[in-house]
């Protein structure tokens, strides 16, 4: 059994909140049906894979797919309403280069086969601010080592957060890992070579509250 398969069998600490929200609208129900028929993730592609973890309502994912038709944009999300909204939006926008994994990113066993991901986007992951919940953070060192295992060399991990102490924790985690080079010069500068000029729902919420998010980019060397 490979290290990655062993990893997949470990009991995973829950990094997310709700799995379901309000009853699905008609469009969201169609979105879920489309997920099964058209957008369900499977790993058969010649294209480079960019993986967005925890895409929420999928607004950023759809834009990423529109602007990068030469890549396969894969999204992973546990929240059913988010999966449903994103799939409906992919359909409305006639997107052909996107697939959705409905579930915990750490259970994407197809990706375990080899280093498959060229780029990660992890935007405004749940911050778990209470001290007793901090072990749930998606960017814990054990989860980062999982992301690193499926990331190709020369690949990037692009991260955004509006929580200062999470940003510091992430910076510390990556600075302890020899295989990553810090690309961002200042977290407060959003480098449009890596990040889109569109705002995610949680990014907009943070800005409305007067917060100044951090944007971090690490390269696997």
Can you give the binding site for ligand SAM, defined by CB under 6 A? 15-16, 53-56, 76-79, 82, 104-106, 123-126, 138, 200-203
Contacts of 202 (CB under 8 A, 6+ apart): 56, 123, 124, 162
Closest CB 115 distance from ligand SAM, rounded Å: 19
Cβ-contact 120, 156 below 8 angstroms: yes
Distance CA 54, CA 112 (A): 19
Distance CA 76, CA 105 (A): 6
DSSP label at residue 27: H
Closest CB 202 distance from ligand SAM, rounded Å: 4
Closest residue by beta carbon to ligand SAM = 54
DSSP label at residue 206: H
Closest CB 221 distance from ligand SAM, rounded Å: 26
Q: Which DSSP string do the residues of 74-143 spell out, in sequence order?
A: EEEE--HHHHHHHHHHHHHTT--SEEEEES-GGG-GGGGGS--EEEEEEES-----SGGGGGG-TTSHHH
Q: How many CB atoms lie within 10 A of CB 9?
A: 9
Cβ-contact 180, 41 below 8 angstroms: no
Q: How far is CA 2 from CA 107, 150, 156, in A?
A: 15, 13, 24
Closest CB 141 distance from ligand SAM, rounded Å: 15
**Nearer residue to ligand SAM within complex by CB, 127 or 155:** 127
**Nearer residue to ligand SAM within complex by CB, 37 or 129:** 129
């Amino acid at each position: 059994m490979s290290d990655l398969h062993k990893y997949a069998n470990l009991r995973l600490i829950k990094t997310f909140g709700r799995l379901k929200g309000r009853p699905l609208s008609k469009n969201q129900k169609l979105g879920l049906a489309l997920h099964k028929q058209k957008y369900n993730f499977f790993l058969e592609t010649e294209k480079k894979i960019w993986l967005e973890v925890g895409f929420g309502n999928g607004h950023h994912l759809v834009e990423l797919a529109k602007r990068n038709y030469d890549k396969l944009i894969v999204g992973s999300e546990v929240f059913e309403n988010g999966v449903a909204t994103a799939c409906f939006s992919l359909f409305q926008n006639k997107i052909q280069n996107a697939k959705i994994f409905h579930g915990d990113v750490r259970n994407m066993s197809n990706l375990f086969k080899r280093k498959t991901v060229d780029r990660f986007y992890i935007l405004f992951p749940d911050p778990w601010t209470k001290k007793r919940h901090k072990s749930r953070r998606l960017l814990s060192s054990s989860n980062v080592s999982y992301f690193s295992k499926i990331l190709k060399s020369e690949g990037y991990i692009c991260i955004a957060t509006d929580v200062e102490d999470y940003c510091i924790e992430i910076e510390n985690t990556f600075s302890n890992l020899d295989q990553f080079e810090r690309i961002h010069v200042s977290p407060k500068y959003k480098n449009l070579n890596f990040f889109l000029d569109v705002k995610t729902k949680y990014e907009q919420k943070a800005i409305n509250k007067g917060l100044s998010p951090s944007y971090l980019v690490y390269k696997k060397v």
